[in-house]
Amino acid sequence: MTNRILPTLLAIALSLPSMAAKPKWMPDYNKITEKAQNGYLVPIRPCNIPGNPDWNTYAKKFIYAPVFSFPAKTDAKKYLYRLSQGNNVWKFSAKTPNESLAPVWKKIPVGNTSLVVLAVGKNNTIDTVGVRKFFRDFPYEGPYTGAMRDYRQAARKAAYQFHHNPFVQYWKTHDEPNMDWHKNTYPAKIVGSTVRMECLVAREFPELRDNAVKIAENAVGYLIRIAQPADAPLAYFPPTYYKEPSSKNTTQYRVYQANKNNCMLLEAVYLGEGLLDLYELTGKKEYLDYSKNIARTYVRRQNPDGSWPVKVNLSTGEPLNEARCTPATLFDYLNRLSRDYGMNELESAVAKGEDWMNRVALPRFDLSGQFEDVSVDMKPYENLNSCTSSEYAMYLLSGKNPGDTALRHARDLTLMVEDQFCHWDVLPDAKGFQWEPTPCVHEQFKYEMPIDNSTALLAGAFLSLYEKTGNEVYLAKAKALLDSIVNVESIINGELPTIWDFNGKSRSGVRSHWSNCTFMAVSQLMRMADFEDTHFAQKKK
């Protein structure tokens, strides 16, 4: 019997590469890798250029050669830079203490690295002016494992599986959420994005349309019932935090108790977009009208300077602090209403918001985190994150002809996310295991975990950069990240996890799902499928 099994197993093993989706683009990866790694010698927004902030103060790892802000000595003749990993040392000298590490960056292998900058004064006196420890991270080095499924097939499989999850099917016969699914404690985000996912399912699977629409309508009805009344400061906004989860021994319970009277201002966008999706499916005008009312509240809540607060009191609408949001998703929503439904009065709010971003947020390079389960009371740059930066980069590139300034901002934001949150590879643990699949993208400084949403957003930003510049390095990076999303998808049922720490003991093998994250991953996979169908077909002509 053994003699029959072994040849069969060998035949299966040899056939595995053919199971992968046939690539539609086969570049010269040696050239792309060389170009990418040369790009890592160019610092991102270096602080030695006037106007650039010290944005990497809290950064722990770098792919791009960094520049640090160290104080100068008035009598210094030069500065010595000394980098070390154990007994290995790399040195160079420079005229200032704020120079790029590019002269030795390619020589430094992946690993924990120490930097000391010394000022050399008269009579060769030595003073230490700067010390920094960081992780020199893996650079891009393609090709990576190709997608084991076609992008569209993977996206549809994930959407199909999402629809059949018990916590989603629950909505078919209920008009209240299943609170055993603890994420439903955040109804604006989770229930709102569940509506969007079900509308996608209804479009993609005609046989599931009736069920998907029923689920979406029950979920929308719930959000409208618990939303603020028409005369409230946050009229028509669903709450960010509502209804305790069934278990008190959860993060969601603790977050709810601390924040039940608060509101993350941007999260009403999930309902607003879901209502438009549902209107386009059903033609029921009440959904369009309600979405328009949400948009009007956003216009009323805009600050005179064009910004919007991140977090406010649910009853009064008053900001809880000075943090301002990065409104890429809000701009997309308002523009959709203006473009597709004639709400031209929204254009001035978007223009004011864009002006504030151009004057304040983008020059500061500090795009605030907007997570309902993490405090927004942070020092500048203390909680840089991947999501808002990737989202705004895509927004800047969404117009037909973005100018040079918009392109520069989008590029800087995208490369910062790669630098700080993307992991092209990881070192194995003591047992030789990698604790996360790579390539992947972590979410934020305060939650350093690989997330499908973050990975999809950076892939989307790279794809947008490629579409505007034609630089194939960006396309290769987008493809590698999306391939990774495909490859963590369950080969059995298409289940797509949000958190990718597959060795994590806390979850005991349970895969975590956030519906907003699944929606973004599915959307970017669909986008890449559409891109391939049109872009490479045109190239063949």
What lies within 8 Å, CB to CB, of 449 at 6+ separation is 442, 443, 499, 500, 501
Residue 503 pLDDT level (bands cut at 50, 70, 90): low
* The two structure tokens encoding residue 522: 């599915």
Domain boundaries, the chain: 30-136, 151-540
Q: pLDDT tens digit string along 138-151?
A: 999 999 999 999 99
| 372 has a pLDDT exceeding 90 | no
CB 437 within 8 A of CB 481: no
Question: Residue range 324-339: average pLDDT?
Answer: 97
Three-state SS letters, 322-346: CCECCCHHHHHHHHHHHHHHCCHHH
| pLDDT on residue 296 | 98
Query: What are the phi and psi torsion angles at 165 (to 5°)?
Result: -65, 140
| pLDDT on residue 513 | 83
Give the least confident one: 8-17, 68-77, 381-390, 523-532. Answer: 8-17
Residue 368 pLDDT level (bands cut at 50, 70, 90): confident
Q: Max CA-CA distance within the chain?
A: 84
Residue 12 pLDDT level (bands cut at 50, 70, 90): very low
Give the least confident one: 32-41, 384-393, 488-497. Answer: 488-497
How far, in Å, are 437, 502, 533 from residue 37 at the CA level? 22, 29, 29
Q: pLDDT tens digit string along 165-207?
A: 999 999 999 999 999 989 999 999 999 999 999 999 999 999 9
Name the residue among 269, 274, 281, 375 with its Cα closest to residue 320.
375
Beta pairing class for 111-120 and 78-85: antiparallel
| pLDDT on residue 22 | 72
* Domain 151-540 listed as CATH 3.40.50.880: no
* The two structure tokens encoding residue 439: 């390539």
* Percent over 70 (pLDDT), the chain: 93
How high is the mean pLDDT of the chain?
92
| pLDDT on residue 11 | 36
CB 315 within 8 A of CB 233: yes
Q: pLDDT tens digit string along 261-272?
A: 999 999 999 999
Give the whole-angstrom CA distance, residue 201 versus residue 160: 7
| pLDDT on residue 261 | 93
Q: DSSP strand E in 254-401: where?
A: 262-264, 311-313
Give the whole-angstrom CA distance, residue 410 versus residue 400: 14
Q: Which helix (H) or strand (E) holds 420?
A: helix 404-421
CB 163 within 8 A of CB 56: no
| pLDDT on residue 502 | 64
What lies within 8 Å, CB to CB, of 280 at 6+ separation is 199
- The CATH class given to the 30-136 domain equals mainly beta
First-to-last alpha carbon distance for the chain, in angstroms, is 53
* Percent over 90 (pLDDT), the chain: 82
Give the least confident one: 74-83, 247-256, 451-460, 530-539. Answer: 530-539
Residue 25 pLDDT level (bands cut at 50, 70, 90): confident
